[in-house]
Amino acid sequence: MTGAASTPAGTGIPLVSGASGQGGHFAEFCANPALFLSRAYRENGEICQFDLNGLRNILLVSAEAHEAVFRAPDELLSAAEAYQMMVPVFGEGVQYGAPPELERQQLKMQARGLRQDRMKLYAAVIAREVQDWLADWEDEGELDIYEAFTRLTLKTSTHCLMGEEFRYTLTEEFADLYHELEASVSPAALRDPDALGEVAARRDRARARLAQLIGERVAQRRASGAQHPDMLQVYMDARYEDGRALSEDEIAGMVIWFMFAGHHTSGNTSSWTAVELARHPGHAAAIAAEVDELYSRNTELSRNALKEIPRLQAFIMEVLRLHPPLVTLTRRALQDFHYRDYVIPAGSNVMASPYVAHRLPQTFPQPDRFDPTRPEPDNVFAFIPFGGGHRKCVGNAFAILQVKAIFCALLRDYAFELVDAPDSYRDYMPSLILRPSEPCRLRYRRRRST
Ligand code: HEM
């Protein structure tokens, strides 16, 4: 079917225009989910539906609707059913590949490793990585900031996760294997992760080899009896409520889950933060002054990154408003789900979209304007870069700490300028995570001699 919006019988929910006979809206969605969902909202408002290869998806866009979705119990709206494509990546028996009761306990283990009292440990690790990274910088130069932050956050993630010995023996092999896993998570995998042919076969080989590498590390640690201040140790020491420890394959799955959740989300947010700083020199100068003031009282980066840095934090929040790395937050309705007068049939996907929601003019006046001074919306479900409710991101404090640490170090010594035309830096979605378009070149200059 092609043409204007219509209302399929029985649901009362308008259908997004432009579906093709085969695949429905699949091709347009896969080409760029952010643009497709924006169009769907413009055309239909708070609720609409679209078809991904025969799977009904309902997009809900408003603070009230997000609250209804995020507060719904898993037995009604299931994240596990919606994200089954992650099961071969993290492994059977981990997160959405585990029974809900085990998954709940595993999530608590992840949260335990990310508790506020551990942030000091991670701040020191991240500070060391950032300082090592900056040691090679000249007084001025040009770099692809997306590539640079992708590499840096791979190092910080593996360092906090797997510890010092692993990080400093980090091989190309580990990065390549992790890359193979990432390549299997694309919009096309949403419908059927095994329809990926050779990509899926490479994913499975990479998952098996990663599990072997992580297993070797666990065995070495167990043999030495030493305790380490990292997430791997948290997983090794964790116990389920019945007293059982995580198996080696479960530990590998937890490591991969953490990497997936935290690596690109933080790297892409850092990249967009650098681009927006270069686009807005007035705000950048004010934040640099704020950072100078911090350093005038204390020179230690790891301590400064743990402090309130209000202007920098507000800037990062505005980056997350306009460029939220996760564009679609999805659940599968296991029973009919009622929202206002609508009945969303069991079996449908229900989607919230931070990208679309963060551009609502009634909540964010002049939504396309980058304005870090704009007030926070009254309703917490209006601003959802980290999701909401019982599945809200457990790594949000870690993520903010990391981006703050990076810019606290960078802005102390460097200022950024755009290399290309301001409008050429665009949101881009080659995978399910939003990032800046390629190339993403910035020029950096030392602010003062040290
Ligand atoms: C700017 C960076 C980040 C953003 C924007 C972000 C965003 C999100 C969002 C939106 C969700 C909820 C997904 C949903 O409701 O379907 C989520 C979940 C999660 N995030 Fe983050 N995240 C970030 C960084 C991190 C980091 C650094 C970690 C780990 C250290 C992490 C760990 C997790 C985990 C474990 C979950 C799963 C929660 C669950 O399954 O219930 N995230 N994240």
| C-beta of 398 in contact with ligand 1 (< 6 A) | yes
Domain ranges across the chain? 1-85+327-364
Q: What pLDDT does residue 2 have?
A: 35
| C-beta of 255 in contact with ligand 1 (< 6 A) | no
Residue whose Cα lies nearest atom 9 of ligand 1: it is 386
Measure 325 CA to ligand 1 centroid, in angstroms: 10
Q: What is the Cα Rg of the chain in Å?
A: 22
Measure 99 CA to ligand 1 centroid, in angstroms: 20
Residue whose Cα lies nearest atom 37 of ligand 1: it is 393
Ligand 1 site-directed mutation target among 265, 380, 392, most atoms within 8 Å of CB:
265
Q: What pLDDT does residue 165 have?
A: 81
pLDDT at residue 1 greater than cutoff 70: no
Q: What pLDDT does residue 191 have?
A: 62
Spatial neighbors of 75 by CB under 8 A, at least 6 apart, are 334, 335
Measure 328 CA to ligand 1 centroid, in angstroms: 12
* Mean confidence (pLDDT) of the chain: 92
For domain 1-85+327-364, the CATH architecture is: 2-Layer Sandwich (3.30)
Q: What pLDDT does residue 302 have?
A: 86
| C-beta of 266 in contact with ligand 1 (< 6 A) | yes
The overall pTM is greater than 0.85 = yes
Residue whose Cα lies nearest atom 21 of ligand 1: it is 393
| C-beta of 393 in contact with ligand 1 (< 6 A) | yes
- CA dihedral for 349, 352, 355, 356, sign (positive or negative): positive
pLDDT band at 194 (very low <50, low <70, confident <90, very high): low
Q: What is the pLDDT of residues 95-142, one digit of tens each?
A: 999 999 999 999 999 999 999 889 999 999 999 999 999 999 999 999
pLDDT band at 183 (very low <50, low <70, confident <90, very high): confident
User: Average pLDDT of 79-93?
Assistant: 93
pLDDT band at 94 (very low <50, low <70, confident <90, very high): very high
Q: What pLDDT does residue 394 have?
A: 95
User: Average pLDDT of 85-100?
Assistant: 94
Residue whose Cα lies nearest atom 6 of ligand 1: it is 386
Q: Tally Cβ neighbours within 10 Å of residue 172.
A: 7
| C-beta of 77 in contact with ligand 1 (< 6 A) | no
- Whole-angstrom distance, CA of residue 377 vs CA of residue 391: 21
pLDDT band at 320 (very low <50, low <70, confident <90, very high): very high
Residue whose Cα lies nearest atom 43 of ligand 1: it is 393
Q: What is the pLDDT of residues 387-410, one digit of tens each?
A: 999 999 999 999 999 999 999 999
DSSP string of 349-383, one letter each residue: EEEE-HHHHTT-TTTSSSTTS--TTSPPPSSGGG-
Return the percentage of the chain with pLDDT > 90, whole number.
80
Tell me which of 177-181, 270-274, 288-292, 441-445 is least confident.
177-181
pLDDT at residue 188 greater than cutoff 90: no
pLDDT at residue 218 greater than cutoff 70: yes
Q: What pLDDT does residue 450 have?
A: 47
- Whole-angstrom distance, CA of residue 435 vs CA of residue 364: 22
Q: What pLDDT does residue 5 have?
A: 44
| C-beta of 326 in contact with ligand 1 (< 6 A) | yes
| C-beta of 254 in contact with ligand 1 (< 6 A) | no
Measure 40 CA to ligand 1 centroid, in angstroms: 25
Q: What pLDDT does residue 171 have?
A: 73
Ligand 1 site-directed mutation target among 155, 386, 392, 401, most atoms within 8 Å of CB:
386
pLDDT at residue 7 greater than cutoff 60: no
| C-beta of 262 in contact with ligand 1 (< 6 A) | yes
Q: What is the pLDDT of residues 278-312, one digit of tens each?
A: 999 999 999 999 999 999 988 888 888 889 999 99
Measure 390 CA to ligand 1 centroid, in angstroms: 12
| Exposure b/e, 110-137, CB count within 10 A at least 16 = b | beebbeeebbeebbbbbbbbbeebbeee
Q: Which residues pair with 343 in a beta bridge?
A: 338
Q: What pLDDT does residue 4 have?
A: 39
Residue whose Cα lies nearest atom 11 of ligand 1: it is 393
Measure 391 CA to ligand 1 centroid, in angstroms: 9
pLDDT at residue 268 greater than cutoff 70: yes
Return the percentage of the chain with pLDDT > 70, whole number.
96
Q: What is the pLDDT of residues 20-66, one digit of tens each?
A: 888 899 999 989 999 999 999 999 999 999 999 899 999 999 999 99
